[in-house]
Chain A
């Protein structure tokens, strides 16, 4: 369960989020939509504690995220898989190692890693690219590695911040298909996007932000920005 309670975030006097409140139940698929600068990425950053809110509270299960100390962040973040627009893969590690890293930080045994990583690589269709470095992969392939990394430890929540922003239409739909699949396996998925087509096709719960304020929160929502 994720709860945003009257969350405000300002950067040097500019308000990025203004008293935003919402709840997300386990297993939901929620799209957060809005124009560039509406506050979508800020929601993601606050949720993974990359930033702290200026006011308000954020809860994730038993964690009060806004109060987490730097020391507790690694353990907390293992509950959330994150996918970024710019992939954020480790350039010096192969696809296999990038995915394995999410398991290694948890101290999982090597045997388990050697079983799990090929499984997710197959799921995202990159079995042949296991030992390629990110620089040797296309944009779509990189994003699939990032998705594999986010899901390999079966986190309760997957957060995707504009995951299709740098991808062509074909790869965009591949990524969305993967996210819905992950959601079917039981993980909560939060998708921040400004792609109208994706949101309208998905027909899932949609939270709409405008200039930092939450203006609409609908089940089976559509991408409507006035």
Chain B
């Protein structure tokens, strides 16, 4: 048993070296396949970050009338926090609202002056609500409108921003849907290309396989070296693909950063490189093994 395994491994390596050109071609295709897969992984990271950032920009604010006490607002806050759909509720007091307003407009003297005209703080206290899922804003807004709080509330921002929120939600949905479709399509194309390549490589060996059968080679003894070759294609293709992705990410991350500030691709790559490399290797080896096993199957019947 052990001697058979060691022979299978030995012949896998020998065939790999002796079929230099075929191995080169298979590794090239494997490399291209894994580059596409690596691209998909990074594309998904960017998409997710984009969606998150879009979702974070969506919220509902409840502005309270001047005479509403802080206690009433805080008790509403804690009751809202209990709702399953709601991710977070932030209380912005009148003072905080003023501070933020001043900070925002500190370079605009006209506004600062206008503000000094008021003896009181003209800004309203508010609760800033974020939902777990952007589809739920309409529901939350409904809830707020119907709740017995209308006497406390000056206005609810959702009604004003409804069109923008709906549009953002639609964009998020579209990006997610296209992303999933694109992933499946590209993954399928890449897997088919590598499968066809390995199939052709094994087809060119079909006569050799028949001879091995006639000399009394068992199926596993014949199949084994081809599986080892498949593993080598995946292993080398995976390492090369990883090595190519390093400079690619380093070169492109500033552009991604300028497009969407939440995602530093280079930092992501550095913190996740073991995962990324492991993913590339595992996928490459998996494709190599499965393609080899399927491709050789039909030649092992006679």
Contacts and interface: CB of A to CB of B under 8 A. Distances in A.
Given A74-B218, A110-B3, A90 B212 contact: yes
A117 to B, nearest CB: 14
A12 interface: no
B15 A77 contact: no
B211 A89 contact: yes
A101 B14 CA distance: 14
Residue with the highest number of chain A CB atoms closer than 10 Å, among B1, B3, B18, B211: B211
B157 interface: no
Given A70-B301, A110-B3, A105 B211 contact: no
B15 A74 contact: no
Interface in A80-101: 82, 88-92, 101
Contacts of A75: 216, 218
Interface in A11-68: 48, 50
In this complex, the interface size class of chain A, counting residues with CB under 8 Å from chain B, is 20 to 34
Nearest to B211: A88
A105 to B, nearest CB: 5
Given A92-B15, A92-B208, A107-B4, A78 B216 contact: yes
A102 B213 CA distance: 10
Contacts of B211: 88-90
Interface string B135-169: 00000000000000000000000000000000000
A29 B19 CA distance: 41
A74 B3 contact: no
A174 interface: no
A48 B221 CA distance: 19
Contacts of A107: 1, 3-4
Residue with the highest number of chain A CB atoms closer than 10 Å, among B18, B217, B219, B221: B217
B18 A105 contact: no
Contacts of B15: 92
A82 to B, nearest CB: 6
Interface in B217-268: 217-219, 221
B214 interface: yes
A74 B217 contact: yes
A169 interface: no
A101 B212 contact: yes
A109 interface: yes
B167 to A, nearest CB: 62
Contacts of B221: 74, 104-105
Nearest to B15: A92
A73 interface: yes
Contacts of A77: 213-216
Residue with the highest number of chain A CB atoms closer than 10 Å, among B3, B216, B300: B216
A73 B213 contact: yes
Contacts of A104: 4, 7, 221
A106 B221 CA distance: 10
Interface in A113-156: 149
A50 B301 CA distance: 10
Given A50-B302, A92-B208, A105 B216 contact: yes
Contacts of A88: 211, 214
A73 B4 CA distance: 18
Contacts of B214: 48, 50, 77, 82, 88
Contacts of B19: 92
Nearest to B221: A105
B215 A105 contact: yes
A41 to B, nearest CB: 13
B208 A105 contact: no
Nearest to B301: A70
A74 B208 contact: no
A74 B222 CA distance: 11
Contacts of B14: 92
Contacts of A82: 214-215
Nearest to A89: B211
A168 to B, nearest CB: 24
Q: 6 closest Cβ contacts across the A-B interface?
A: A78-B216, A77-B216, A74-B218, A105-B217, A88-B211, A105-B216
27 contacts: A48-B214, A50-B214, A50-B302, A74-B216, A74-B217, A74-B218, A74-B221, A75-B216, A78-B216, A82-B215, A88-B211, A89-B211, A90-B208, A90-B212, A92-B14, A92-B15, A92-B18, A101-B215, A102-B215, A104-B7, A104-B221, A105-B217, A105-B218, A106-B216, A107-B3, A107-B4, A109-B3
